[in-house]
Structure 1
Amino acid sequence: MTAPEVRRHDDSDSLVGDVASALLDRLESAQARGEVPQIGLTGGSIAEELHRELARRAQDSSVDWSRVVFWWGDERFVPAASPDRNARQAREALLDHVGVDPANVHEVPASDQVDSAEEAAAAYSATLRSEGAGFFEVLMLGIGPDGHCASLFPGHPGLQARDAIAIAVHDSPKPPPDRVTLTFEAMERCRAVWFIASGEGKADAVARALAPDGSVEETPARGVRGDETIWWLDDPAASALPT
């Protein structure tokens, strides 16, 4: 694994535009090699902007969206129709508009589909084992102001998970309290990990995540790296980094 690369942008619009261009190029290249790329999506406001930009550009791209496989790094354990679902956000902003194959969209089971977050995590793990490629072409992640990524929070028991693909998270410090998340071990099986952060509210967490010293226990985003790791930042999110 190489050291993380930082790509700074003047504002969130240029950030979203560059990430969209890079992702489309990456998908086109994978498909040109005869592969069916598998990507991990994230939630949040900047992800929603990215998804809308991808949908806007889809018709001008050579990406065959029916040959892209979709996963999520984490999900809120709420009913399937809840607006809190990362999958619902992605469907409304992107997936419903680009001709995906429904069989290639792998959501975490919702709270009105299974009885517990543990059952959802087990089912999602089983699907990744049977339908996954063994790695993500790109896994996109956000970072919270506290330094969390996916649903791995500072000081939370999930940070210690080993030999697991996905786990249940309870008592999340950020609502809703029950979630399902990929583990560090699962998230590191990537050709590329892309962190995407916008806004001054993320600046301290970004600086801690990229500092030479620090702990994963305090800043979980330090714990995820792929073969390639890129931090896509706008200037406010990068404002606490050394100049």
Structure 2
Amino acid sequence: MPDVVVEPDADRLARAAASALVARLAAAQTVHGTASVVLTGGGIGTAVLERVAGLAREPEREQVDWTTVDVWWGDDRFVPADDEERNELGARRALLDVVGVPAERVHAMPASDAGTEPEDAAAWYAGQLADAAPEGEALPRFDVLLLGMGPEGHVASIFPESPAASDERTVVAVRDCPKPPPTRISLGFSAINTAEEVWLLVSGAAKAPAVARALEGGAGPLQLPAAGVHGRRATRWLLDADAAGELSGGG
């Protein structure tokens, strides 16, 4: 069963998630010597990264060695590299440039001005994942994979009833998204669900119906992609009170 954590508001949700992420990455470094995180975009995802950067400035806090953290993305918008819509750009500003993650450990998805079609960009990113994986595996270890969720239940760039929802490849090109920009690159379920832990960060009353359907068995992954994601060791829904508002018992 998923773990469900409800915080009073979006600000406290971001702070709690940031503290938990720092602790989880530090623990992974203790065990493996390195850590790996898959980032998401969106308002709450970026707010978490900003607060992680703030924690890095507090020497009394538990610390992550950011020189040994590999950073991947669950999805990104297939727009030019300097476009404000890019998840990569937001993450660099909020965290990666602040804490000094080495360039070779930042594994960004290709932008549209890289000179490739989205399908080729997806295949290239799948190759990058395979190159970083242990021998015989298609994917590296993901210690924590962060996801946001849309009001209709999309995660990464897997939208309800879209071809990506049934695509078995690790990385897919997504065209004609119902939410702009229409062209994106996304991890597929086959990659997302290999993560040690998947954390869904969800804020706002508009998302409460989809949260309730996903957690209470109201739909399958084709109709509600958020219902189809899970971690190998843990699946955590980190909600604010508004997003939890339609859960049985109020969350």
What interval of TM-score do these two structures reach, taking the shorter chain for normalisation? over 0.9
The corresponding residue for 1:21 is 19
Q: TM-score, normalised by structure 1?
A: 0.96
Gapped regions of structure 2 (runs ≥ 5): 135-139
Q: For 1:146 and 1:34, how far apart are their aligned partners in 2?
A: 37
What stretches of structure 1 of length at least 5 have no aligned partner?
A: none
Q: Which residue of 2 aligns with 1:49?
A: 47
C-alpha contact 1:170 1:178 (8 A) present in aligned 2: yes
Q: Which residue does 2:159 correspond to in 1?
A: 153
Cα deviation code 1:28-80 (max 9, x no counterpart): 11112243111100000011111110111113342111110000000100000
Cα distance, 1:132 vs structure 2: 4.1
Number of aligned residues: 240
Letter of the structure 1 residue corresponding to residue 64 of structure 2: V
Q: How does 1:162-201 map to 2 (within 5 A)?
A: 162=168, 164-201=169-206
Equivalent residue of 1:31, what SS? helix
Whether the 8 Å CA contact 2:50–2:95 is kept in 1: the answer is yes
Alignment of 1:37-76 (within 5 A): 37-60=35-58, 61-76=62-77
- Tell me the SS of whatever aligns to 2:57: helix
Question: 1:96 and 2:97 equivalent?
Answer: yes
1:222 aligned residue (224, 227, 236):
227
- Percent identity between the two aligned chains: 44
Q: RMSD in angstroms over aligned alpha carbons?
A: 1.1
Distance in 2 separating the partners of 1:159 and 1:16: 28
Distance 2:92 2:175 in 1: 25
Q: 1:44 is aligned with what amino acid?
A: G
The aligned counterpart of 2:3 is 5
Equivalent position SS for 1:196:
strand
TM-score scaled to structure 2, two decimals?
Answer: 0.93
* Contact 2:26–2:35, Cα closer than 8 Å, also in 1: no
Instruction: Give the direction of change, closer, same or farther, for the CA distance of 1:172–1:241 in structure 2 (3 Å limit).
Output: same
In the alignment, which residue of structure 2 is the partner of 1:82? 83
Q: Say whether the 8 Å CA contact 1:114–1:120 is kept in structure 2.
A: no
- Name the SS of the counterpart of 1:233 in structure 2: strand
